[in-house]
Structure 1
Amino acid sequence: MNFGRSIRVNRGAVLVVVVCGFTLLYFYHLFSDRSGSAYGQARNANEVNLRKLLIGAIQAAQKGGVEIVEVSKSMLLNKKSKGKTKEGADDPVTDADARSHCVMKNGLHRIFPRLEIISEEDKGTGCGDTAHFNLDPTVLHENAVIPDEVVETSDVTVWIDPLDATQEYTEKLYQYVTTMVCVAIRGKPVIGVVHNPFTMKTTWAWHGKALSEDLSKVKKEETLTKNPIIIVSRSHSGLVQNISKQVFGDNAQVIKAAGAGYKVLQVVFNNATAYLHTTRIKKWDLCAGNAILNAVGGKMTNLMNEEIDYSSNEAVVNDKGLLSTLSHHEDFISKIMSHKVLQA
């Protein structure tokens, strides 16, 4: 054995090791950041990074959508009724609602364990072992420049609608179906995500910070239209149709649709002038659309022109009606209030 033999260093191998090392560091910092770990919490356990929460919200909506599509393919919806709404309509729930809820809420809670998360299907849904997900920044479009911003966890409430338009889902009217996630800070809707699992389109916004690519082309109407298009719920359109004619005039066109998320996006993309709702509606139906509408300069209020409070200690039901507009909100709300719509 020749212990005196010199050891040759393979320079190519060394170069590979160095490159791999820098690559690992790059991906560590990509999934981490200056203010937090590779997961959702900031270094201070009582704070949360909103950039990461935006990414997690988008992923949660998309992962929930996967469950919805899978159940639709199986045709085993297992439709049940949660009871009747105040207006007498059936309030259905399916296995798709439950599976989407479990993936969305449990997935977010694993990454952000201290967050207050409210889901439509919190009651009576046992999740057991649920597939989780890790944060994946590639869900953001390549032109998105997302800042790091840390807020107190106690100021944040996350609202989840695992399947908006369940009745239409059972009827295979998939264009109305969405999953939604909203991040409210001190009761104000700040981040909103609306995802259609059948078209695979995801619209999202972080108010004042960033928008999904489809929102970059949104334009507000400068002139008050003489022929407004009012979008209303399919389930009680007759009442709202009569009110719309009274308030907006005979030239008003009323169109029926399902899903609050769908209807708000019709307003955002100028396919409807206003979304009018005159009865009770849950806040998980509204919050995501409210955040998106605010981010593009629109407005959502109840019919008393009051902004909706999404704090976790507030009631989950908005019982003062709803008006959503991209422009001329005050003009429309004044007409509604003068006609005393809530007493109609």
Structure 2
Amino acid sequence: MAPMGIRLSPLGVAVFALLALGVLYHFYSGVLAGRIAIFRKLPGGDRVDLRELLALSVEAAVRGGEQVKRVAEEGELHGKSKGKTKEGAEEMLTNGDLRSHQKMYHLIKNTFPSIQVYSEEHETSNVPETASWDHVIPKEILDKTTTTEEVSSDSITVWIDPLDATQEYTENLLHYVTTMVCVAVNGKPVIGVVHKPFADFTAWAVVRGGSNVSMRKSYNEKNPRIIMSRSHLGTGRAFAQKAFGNNTDIKEAGGAGYKVLSLLNIPDDKQPDHADVYLHVTNIKKWDICAGNALLEALGGQMTTLQGKTIDYTDSALNEGGIFATIGVSHKELLEKLPDLKSIKTK
């Protein structure tokens, strides 16, 4: 007996063709939709546009700064000590730190939930923060950036300092105060935002992508002016003098963000102090330095440990080995002048 064949009626052929077209339609529309989703950078997606993340970082720093300023104006700082650092310095905590943290942290997490965010402070309220962002990139950022890079969200770590220079904040030395956001990709700082809430000024930059600030026209490499921490001036002064001479011009200041800005071309009414080198001789937290590191890298400067090692921002909040930051001078040559920190004796 001859094998039986399968015969389709004209109606069956038509139905089969329609089904095939439907499968192809859904396949290609799914691919297209996926491409559109990536292009639109939906929150929590796998790919993030760095320019969009820069705009969000600026927005977060400014909103945090509004809280810092409001608490100061209301006189409700309620400052208290969180304890002492390894070096014996008091670590202060105020309502300004906490309220700024809530605004900054939740704005970033609500916009991109899959991104890892590290903050100096921690949650203190059971009331969820509903802060949101409209994904609109300001014209200044569009005009001054060239980057079109997209990165994987799991390669990103964001470091925020809700209130840098808390000690000075409690002493009403408000020109030192900043709020900062840094975006690192695979441990390397690529976006830096330093906002001065009491000067209404924000510095930002993207490594290889643009900035709204610049380096100064000249720096003194032969006799550099050194800026360093008010709280570690004894050890730092002896270290700087051994490296650059007893007549070295040394400026003490509060806040890591403030010190980095002192190296850049910032108007005097926004940044009173100017320096050639930023030096820090003790351990320091990464949320204090990441934004400044990114700013300097974007403008051709460098920030390393005192031993010249690059700083990794993948995880681990503590940076050991101090800080040496420069721009417009030979970082390597100045590093070679630094003595062994262990050889420094202070009273």
Same fold (TM over 0.5): yes
After superposition, the C-alpha distances for 1:273-326 in whole angstroms (9 at most, x for unaligned) are 1111111100000000000001111110001100000002xx211121110011
Describe the shift of the 1:127–1:64 C-alpha distance in structure 2 as closer, same or farther (beyond 3 A). Answer: farther
Q: Distance in 2 between matches of 1:47 and 1:172?
A: 42
Conserved? CA contact 2:281–2:321, under 8 Å: yes
Task: Please name the residue that 1:242 is paired with.
Answer: 238
Conserved? CA contact 2:302–2:326, under 8 Å: yes
Q: Structure 1 residue aligned with 2:306, among 278, 300, 303?
A: 303
Describe the shift of the 1:286–1:106 C-alpha distance in structure 2 as closer, same or farther (beyond 3 A). Answer: same
Q: Structure 2 residue aligned with 1:331, among 323, 330, 333?
A: 333
Structure 2 stretches lacking a partner, 5+ long: 1-35, 267-273
| Identity in percent | 42
Q: Distance in 2 between matches of 1:104 and 1:131?
A: 11
Conserved? CA contact 2:194–2:203, under 8 Å: yes
AA aligned to 1:224 is: E
Task: Please name the residue that 1:66 is paired with.
Answer: 66
* CA-CA distance at 1:250 after TM superposition: 2.4
Q: Distance in 1 between matches of 2:140 and 2:42?
A: 17
After superposition, the C-alpha distances for 1:203-242 in whole angstroms (9 at most, x for unaligned) are 0000101101x32x64354x732x2211010011121111
Q: Distance in 1 between matches of 2:149 and 2:141?
A: 19
Aligned-residue CA RMSD (Å) = 1.9
* CA-CA distance at 1:133 after TM superposition: 3.1
Conserved? CA contact 2:182–2:291, under 8 Å: yes
Q: Structure 2 residue aligned with 1:224, among 206, 221, 241?
A: 221
Is residue 128 from structure 1 mapped to residue 127 from structure 2 by the alignment? Answer: yes
Task: Please name the residue that 1:321 is paired with.
Answer: 322
How many residue pairs match? The answer is 300
Is residue 281 from structure 1 mapped to residue 246 from structure 2 by the alignment? Answer: no
* CA-CA distance at 1:269 after TM superposition: 3.2
* CA-CA distance at 1:38 after TM superposition: 6.7
Describe the shift of the 1:51–1:249 C-alpha distance in structure 2 as closer, same or farther (beyond 3 A). Answer: same
Conserved? CA contact 1:55–1:140, under 8 Å: no
* CA-CA distance at 1:34 after TM superposition: 8.2
AA aligned to 1:259 is: G
Structure 1 stretches lacking a partner, 5+ long: 1-32
Q: Which has the larger radius of gyration?
A: 2
Matches within 5 A, 1:1-344: 35-37=38-40, 39-41=42-44, 45-122=45-122, 125-126=124-125, 128-134=127-133, 135-138=135-138, 140-141=140-141, 143-212=143-212, 214-215=213-214, 218-219=216-217, 221=219, 224-225=221-222, 227-269=223-265, 271-312=274-315, 315-326=316-327, 327-336=329-338, 339-344=339-344
Conserved? CA contact 1:40–1:49, under 8 Å: no
AA aligned to 1:133 is: S
Q: Distance in 2 between matches of 1:127 and 1:333?
A: 48
Conserved? CA contact 2:192–2:206, under 8 Å: yes
AA aligned to 1:320 is: G
After superposition, the C-alpha distances for 1:175-209 in whole angstroms (9 at most, x for unaligned) are 10000000001110000000001111000000101
